[in-house]
Amino acid sequence: MKKPLMLTNTLSGKKELFEPRNPNSVLMYVCGVTPYDEAHIGHGRCYVTFDVLFRLLQQLEYEVTYARNFTDVDDKLLNRAEKELGDRMRFGEVAQHYIDSFTDDMEKLNCMKPTVEPRVTQVIPDIIRFVQGLIDKGHAYAVDGDVYYAVRSFPDYGKLSRRTLDDLQVGARVEVNDKKHDPLDFALWKGEPAGSFWHSPWGYGRPGWHIECSAMASKFLGAHIDIHGGGMDLIFPHHENEIAQSEGLFGPRFARCWVHNAFVQVNKEKMSKSLNNFFTLKQVFEQFDPMVVRYYYLNHNYTNPLDFSFEGLQVAEKNYRRLCAFFDETCSADEFNQSPTASLMIDKLCDDLNGAALFGVLFEKWDELKNNEQERSAVKALFQDLMGLTLLPLPEQQVEITPEIQALLDAREKARQERDWKKSDELRDQLRQLGIEVQDRKA
Ligand SMILES: [Zn+2]
């Protein structure tokens, strides 16, 4: 079923018709996580959004190659390893733990596995070749074991975030680092003491963050791709720098369409650990079924900020229960390619992934579908295959979260963070007596 797909392209600032380079296939790269901590509700929103896009593109009969990376070497990881294991070179153990945890969260949210999930540590020779290529082309320079990208060598710098070099110059922090020729230049390779990390033409060291994505996208997808995605917070500098690197080496245009999902806010404020309004997916899953969380995301269009709240999730849960009851086990999930209702729903999704409008079609046609078994079966299949909602009835338990229960949940979270397993188990037992079953995460 080929239909035109409209997507908001950050590069043009407009909603436009999506046209891949090859009419039958799509190359999509989405920036993955740095596995140094648990994934939060902002990550959940991002990867559910791109999961729906992945499913939709396949429905539109494209052959899709979807790459999503793990940044498994990075300052944050090294700091965590230093702090928890007393040795920053044990960052690999920290990374593996959080990669497993992330994978578990994605499975719970019913996100399909990307075609490839490369890790930075597996592509170091490719990164070194990429950096050398940029030096050879005059876009980068080595100083004392570091390599920097010369931002002024790339005239298009700023085209994604619509900033000029002069704007940036004014805002640039005066850094202590005087190795750079220009304060705007950014690191491609970070020198480290001899014998540590990886050997390179510039001595021992490790890659900078931005170069990893350019190198992995070119290795697994090619020099020019169709869709590059990620959270809006990555537009500058990360994606701007990716463009400078990839187009610096291979020429324009690195990605045809840049798709960015908006922030998740809590009480109208950006989520942050310091504001204490920060929720991991696992914390939310302790109170809500992951399918309710997925349904909640899908009801909010990705281009708008999502004001996250537990009240909002409660409403979503109520509606999701209604949905599961409507498409109960007496309703089979059939092929939906011939269904007029499904077609109407896909049209909504093709309009910049308008999930809210898709659900709107269902509520408009609710009575009609009630009496039309065939259409109801088709719509059920669409929800399962395209929206990734399993529609399995939720357990009836669902106890109301009173302030007392919330206090116990918070205390248990604190105990877990402090690695006080005994206290954490005691609190779990107390919660159990109140009818709250908390999941045990791996330590
Ligand atoms: Zn990236």
pLDDT of residue 54: 98
Higher per-residue pLDDT: 143 or 278: 143
Residue type (1 letter), 103: T
Evaluate whether the domain defined by 14-261 bears CATH number 3.40.50.620.
Answer: yes
Its sign, for the CA torsion 416, 422, 423, 429, is positive
* Backbone dihedral angles phi then psi of residue 308, each to the nearest 5 degrees: -70, 135
The residue behind tokens 């990734």 is: 388
What's the 209 CA to ligand 1 centre distance in angstroms?
8
What's the 235 CA to ligand 1 centre distance in angstroms?
10
pLDDT of residue 401: 75
User: What tokens were used for 44?
Assistant: 């959940």
What's the 71 CA to ligand 1 centre distance in angstroms?
9
Q: Is 70 exceeded by the pLDDT of residue 177?
A: no
Mean pLDDT value across residues 230-234: 96
Superfamily of domain 265-385: Isoleucyl-tRNA Synthetase; Domain 1 (1.10.730.10)
Distance CA 51, CA 54 (A): 5
Distance CA 398, CA 365 (A): 29
User: What tokens were used for 97?
Assistant: 């733990």
What's the 239 CA to ligand 1 centre distance in angstroms?
7
Domain ranges of the chain: 14-261, 265-385, 399-443
Q: Is 70 exceeded by the pLDDT of residue 397?
A: no
- DSSP reduced 3-state for 4: coil
Determine if the pTM surpasses 0.75: yes
Distance CA 189, CA 186 (A): 9
The residue behind tokens 């007393």 is: 86
Protein residues near ligand 1, an ion, with CB under 5 A: 31, 213
Mean pLDDT value across residues 328-346: 92
What's the 294 CA to ligand 1 centre distance in angstroms?
24
What's the 115 CA to ligand 1 centre distance in angstroms?
17
Distance CA 66, CA 114 (A): 5
Q: Is 80 exceeded by the pLDDT of residue 26?
A: yes
pLDDT of residue 175: 62
Beta bridge partners of 207: 189
Residue type (1 letter), 213: C
Lowest mean pLDDT segment, chosen from 79-93, 248-262, 422-436? 422-436
Distance CA 230, CA 127 (A): 21
User: What tokens were used for 283?
Assistant: 């914390």
Distance CA 291, CA 73 (A): 32
Residue type (1 letter), 351: D
Beta bridge partners of 206: 190
pLDDT of residue 420: 86
Could you tell me if 191 and 131 are in contact, meaning their C-beta atoms sit under 8 angstroms apart? no
